[in-house]
């Protein structure tokens, strides 16, 4: 029996787009969808999601087994977050150990993660309005998770008193945003090693 050809992509999801391909709601004509960025093969699905106000790496596939494997806790997801204020080493330590956030109406302690301060990263321009330094200092941090609750990074930084102003996923496993411009897509031979 012939093996069905599967398709895989690496995409830099821009700010303001929803991580689905078409609208499933009646009155969502003002929303922007991934299908507007590129001609994807039928059956393509996002592996995980980035909310409308987040940007960065999104892996796509037509293969459900690949999607399940990458969505598992075996794959690290790294984010760069621009936060309000100059984050302290104490706050970073709290992130690393796990913080309490709300999810589905319940309180939840996040798993320990990797977190550290970084210099301002080189990232594609965003259409998001991010406040400038006239309104107070900001700082960048890297957070690497092996889980992905709804808006988890934003909830984590808010829980320690440093709300996220811009959020960019830069890595999933070995795949990075390097070489991608905002909104660009690259077809991949495979996503799993």
Report DSSP state, residue 92: H
Distance CA 55, CA 82 (A): 12
Q: Is 12 left (phi over 0), alpha (psi -120 to 50) or beta?
A: beta
Distance CA 106, CA 83 (A): 25
| Helix ranges restricted to H, the chain | 64-71, 89-97, 152-159
Known catalytic residue at 51: yes
Joined tokens for residue 176: 């990075």
Provide the annotated active-site residues. 51
């Amino acid at each position: 029996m012939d093996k069905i050809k599967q398709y895989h992509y690496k995409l830099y999801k821009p700010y303001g787009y929803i991580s689905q391909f078409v609208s499933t709601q009646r009155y969502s004509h003002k929303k922007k969808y991934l299908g507007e960025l590129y001609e994807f093969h039928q059956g393509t699905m996002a592996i995980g999601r980035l909310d409308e106000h987040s940007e960065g790496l999104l892996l796509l596939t037509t293969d459900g087994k690949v999607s399940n494997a990458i969505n598992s806790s075996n794959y690290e997801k790294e984010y760069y977050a621009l936060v309000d204020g100059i984050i302290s080493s104490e706050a970073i330590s709290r992130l690393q150990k796990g913080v309490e956030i709300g999810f589905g109406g319940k309180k939840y302690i996040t798993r320990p993660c990797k977190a550290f301060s970084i210099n301002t990263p080189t990232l594609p321009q965003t259409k998001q309005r991010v406040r400038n330094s006239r309104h107070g200092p900001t700082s960048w941090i890297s957070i690497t998770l092996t889980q992905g609750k709804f808006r988890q990074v934003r909830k984590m930084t808010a829980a320690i008193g440093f709300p996220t102003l811009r959020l960019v996923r830069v890595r999933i496993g070995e795949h990075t945003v390097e070489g991608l411009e905002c909104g660009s897509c690259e077809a991949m031979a495979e996503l799993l090693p």
